[in-house]
Amino acid sequence: MKKFINDTESLLYDSLQGFALAHNDIVEFNPDPRFIKRKTLKDKDKVVLVSGGGSGHEPLHAGFVGFGMLDAACPGQIFTSPTPDQMMAAAQAVNCGGGVLFIVKNYAGDVMNFEIAAEMLELPNASVLVSDDVSLPKDHSTGRRGVAGTLIVEKLVGAAAENGLALANCKALGERINQVTASMGVALTSCTVPALGKPTFDIAENEMEIGVGIHGERGRETVPIKTATEIVEQIASIIHEELQPKAGQEVLLHINGFGGTPLIELHLLYQLAAAYWQKKELKISRSLVGNYTTSLDMAGASITLTLMDEELMRLWDQPVNTAAIRWGC
């Protein structure tokens, strides 16, 4: 294993210090309990958005803290849920009087700890559970995982909260976005967790893993590697069948890298996915390409499609100023 680290135990703390220093015009780092928060909070009565999860998915979630998205993010150790005390402290630190909306990826540890925090927090609060990974069936025992669609929820609800939308309405909006968003990933390699020191699973040079999550876990099947066109058509057809968009539907297309895939390949995947849905007579009105919801150094990518309407497009276009996403400011 070759990594730029001094000590696996201090890696996260050291990295968060560097992140806050590099973006000290936007965020502040609270070391104990650990969270990242907006440096400048909004006016009184704004709903504040708090999210988080295991580290290793950067820039998710800390990279999305700032104007127009999250007010705070709670990073756990690599691929490990943050603790309820982190979530409670973060919510209290950014509270503006309008209530707290927790945005939670559907992973067992995240769900459990956010539920504990929500029950103990003496502030009005609600939660949105993101479950956009269609590689798992709807009736899966723990539900579908929250993956790259989390970014879409955080951006759109974040914009609505900046506009003064009330807590119950922010929750309803987040749940609506989750219902019209579908994602699926594919990996060419595993990833290496520094504390483990080796790949989390073995995969041959001529194989790929279809339907992977974002924690280095295997997907739903291991298959011989295919061309980029074949890969996109397989994943896009599953997403299309899930969402069943009608001809003329406006959509947001998000191609997300898992950390080890260069942009030249991600833009190829975008071109192929766009061509697939244009043949289905969909209108790709908004797009995002890059490494946003990663799995450390995994070579792979995911495709996310969100069915858009005029309200969602206005919210997407609203100004945002975070470490990872900035426009309109």
Q: Which two tokens stand for residue 320?
A: 């945002």
Q: Are 301 and 147 in contact (CB under 8 A)?
A: no
Neighbours of 175 (CB within 10 A): 16
- Residue 43 pLDDT level (bands cut at 50, 70, 90): confident
Average pLDDT, the chain: 96
Give the pLDDT confidence score for residue 142 in this predicted structure.
85
The catalytic residue positions are 57, 215
Give the pLDDT confidence score for residue 278 in this predicted structure.
97
Residue 73: closest CA among 30, 43, 10 = 30
First to last CA, the chain: 41
Q: What angle do CA 181, 182, 186 make, to 5 degrees?
A: 145
pLDDT digits (tens, 9 = 90+) for 87-145: 999 999 999 999 999 999 999 999 999 999 999 999 999 999 999 999 998 888 789 99
Give the pLDDT confidence score for residue 329 in this predicted structure.
84
pLDDT digits (tens, 9 = 90+) for 167-216: 999 999 999 999 999 999 999 999 999 988 999 999 999 999 999 999 98
CA distances, 226 to each of 103, 166, 206, 253 (Å): 35, 47, 9, 22
Give the pLDDT confidence score for residue 139 in this predicted structure.
85
For helices 167-179 and 149-162, the axis angle rounded to 10 degrees is 150
- CATH superfamily, domain 181-309, is Dihydroxyacetone kinase; domain 2 (3.30.1180.20)
Give the pLDDT confidence score for residue 44 in this predicted structure.
83
Give the pLDDT confidence score for residue 1 in this predicted structure.
82
Determine the Cα–Cα distance for residues 270 and 256; give it in Å rounded to an integer.
9
Q: Are 64 and 23 in contact (CB under 8 A)?
A: no
CATH 3.40.50.10440 location in the chain: 11-179+317-327
Query: Does 44 or 150 have the greater pLDDT score?
Result: 150
Is the pLDDT assigned to residue 222 strictly greater than 80? yes
Determine the Cα–Cα distance for residues 329 and 321; give it in Å rounded to an integer.
7
Residue percentage of the chain with pLDDT more than 70? 100
Give the pLDDT confidence score for residue 33 in this predicted structure.
97
Amino acid, single-letter form, for residue 245: P
Residues 214, 216, 219, 223: is their CA dihedral positive or negative? positive
* DSSP state string for 82-126: PPHHHHHHHHHHH--SS-EEEEEES-HHHHHHHHHHHHH-SS-EE
Q: What angle do CA 62, 64, 66 make, to 5 degrees?
A: 100
Is the pLDDT assigned to residue 217 strictly greater than 90? no
CATH 3.30.1180.20 location in the chain: 181-309
pLDDT digits (tens, 9 = 90+) for 154-163: 999 999 999 9
Q: Which CATH number fits domain 11-179+317-327: 1.20.1560.10, 3.90.226.10, 3.40.50.2000, 3.40.50.10440?
A: 3.40.50.10440
